[in-house]
Amino acid sequence: MKNRYVVIMAGGKGERFWPQSRLKRPKHLLPIVGNSPMLSQTIERLEGLVPPDRVFVITNAEQRKAVLETCPTLLPERVIGEPEGRDTAAAVGLAALLVEKEGDDAAFALLPADHVIEDSEGFRATLEAAFAASEAEDFLVTVGIKPTFPSTGYGYLQRGRQLDLPVSSSLSQVDRFVEKPDLETARAYLENGTYFWNAGMFVWRPSVILAEIDRLTPKLALGLSELKTGWENSGNLEQAMATIYPSLEKISIDFAVMEKADAVVMVESAFDWDDVGEWPAIARHCPQDENGNVFKGMGLAIDSSENLTFSEDGHCISLLGVKDLIVVQSGDATMICHKDCAQQVKELARRVSDLHPELG
């Protein structure tokens, strides 16, 4: 069996889930959905796909200790802390360098840390097909999620012609990537049937993705080359990253490579999926009362409907005569907002943090 690796992206603050999610306890280290931290669920889902010693986690330096404490099965040398976030293309390049150093140009999957997937068996089957495709050809493989509703919060990719390869019956070319659409466009995508949600899951070999970064984003490629040289010369990745990483070009992998590359293919998912990107998404995974209210923690509602509340430490949130609110009590902060404003929670968190850094 060929060596295969998984690199999990576990950076960021999860600001859309403030005030529960903070810099030192971000979304992926919390049980946003389910009873265990999201990162722990992601790692458990890999059982039977790759052995634990072939799992890397890229997080930020401030969260590295918390990641290791939360997920004790991870090898400390496989948990890498970015000294500064430089968006996903830099993290992808770093992941490729990590796996490249293992030898054999082994394929690796790049996965987010905080998605909700109940069907672990279907997830592993999909990743198996993606691995096989990346090993058979010089493909950049992505996973497409069949949309179940007209989402304006996800990016999309359009499926092209089906590829006749024995590695997977659901392998197709990707004709294009599209950004988050408005509602009318999202409805058209759903009706069209060739558009899939972009889950941000990729599989490729280091040589293939590094060659595309070199061809399409030469400035980033130069920085990654300097990082590799610094690592080789010093024998210390952390030292090399402290010097070079903050100067890497800051750009997403979709803008840098995926939207311009030619050999992008898609494996259609065989599993359920939700990236729970903001507070209202939690309601899809929690029981509701007869009026559509969702309570995580203690709560009571009278003459109220379609609200979502979250509380900790026995704190009771009581609602009277309100509708479509999100009420979150966590530690030393409380947030109340209308569901229609959920996308603005990130900006709210930043403004609060500017005024009161201890709450960020």
So where are the chain's domains? Answer: 4-268, 279-359
Average pLDDT of span 311-327: 95
pTM of the model: 0.92
The amino acid occupying position 108 is F
Of 195, 200, 211, nearest to 149 by C-alpha is 195
Mean pLDDT of 306-333: 95
Give CA–CA dist 113/28, Å, rounded: 6
In the predicted structure, residue 306 carries a pLDDT above the cut 70: yes
Average pLDDT over residues 52-60: 96
**Dist. CA 245–CA 316, nearest whole Å:** 45
- Integer Cα distance of 21 and 277 in angstroms: 12
Q: Which CATH class is domain 4-268?
A: alpha beta
Mean pLDDT of 196-209: 97
Q: What are phi and psi of 52, to 5 degrees?
A: -55, -30
Q: If you ran DSSP here, which 8-state letter would residue 52 be given? A: G
Q: Is 261 helix (H, G, I), strand (E, B) or coil?
A: coil
DSSP-assigned states of every residue in 154-196 = S-EEEEEEEP-BTTBTTEEEEEEEE-PPPHHHHHHHHHHS-EE
**DSSP labels, 56-103:** EEEEEGGGHHHHHHH-TTS-GGGEEEESS--HHHHHHHHHHHHHHTTS
Checking if the pLDDT of 191 tops 60, the result is yes
Q: What percent of the chain has pLDDT over 90?
A: 85
Each as own residue / partner, the long-range contacts of residues 273-277 (CB below 8 Å, 24 or more positions apart, any chain) are 273/115, 273/116, 273/117, 273/145, 273/197, 273/199, 274/33, 274/115, 274/116, 274/117, 275/112, 275/114, 275/115, 275/116, 275/154, 275/199, 275/200, 276/32, 276/33, 276/114, 276/115, 276/116, 277/16, 277/153
Considering the chain, what is the average pLDDT of its residues? 94
Residue 291: how many CA atoms within 13 Å on its side-chain side? 18
Q: Could you give the CA distance from residue 22 to residue 13 in angstroms, rounded to a whole number?
A: 6
Strand intervals (E) in the chain:
4-9, 55-60, 79-82, 107-112, 140-145, 156-162, 171-178, 195-204, 264-268, 294-296, 299-302, 308-310, 317-320, 325-330, 333-338
Is residue 97 scored above 80 in pLDDT?
yes
Q: How far apart are CA 248 and CA 213, in angstroms?
A: 13
Residue type, 43: I
Q: How many CB atoms lie within 10 A of CB 356?
A: 11
Under the banding of pLDDT at 50, 70 and 90, the label for residue 1 is: low
Task: Tell me the average pLDDT across 107-114.
Answer: 96
User: Is pLDDT above 90 for 84?
Assistant: yes
Torsions phi, psi for 302 (to 5 deg): -125, 130
The amino acid sitting at 190 is L
Which pLDDT score is estimated for 169?
Answer: 66
Q: Which amino acid is located at 327 in the chain?
A: V
Mean pLDDT score, 17-21:
93
Element (H, E) at 244: helix 237-244
Residue 66's pLDDT band (cuts 50, 70, 90): very high
CA distance 65 to 273: 28
Cα dihedral 284→286→290→295 (10° resolution): -120
Note the pLDDT tens digit of each residue in 165-178.
776 668 999 999 99
Q: What is the pLDDT of residues 258-304, one digit of tens each?
A: 999 989 999 999 899 998 888 998 888 899 999 999 999 999 999 99
What pLDDT score does 276 carry? 86
Question: Whole-angstrom Cα distance, residue 242 to residue 233?
Answer: 14
Radius of gyration of the CA atoms of the chain, in A: 21
Handedness of CA 99, 104, 105, 110 (dihedral sign): negative
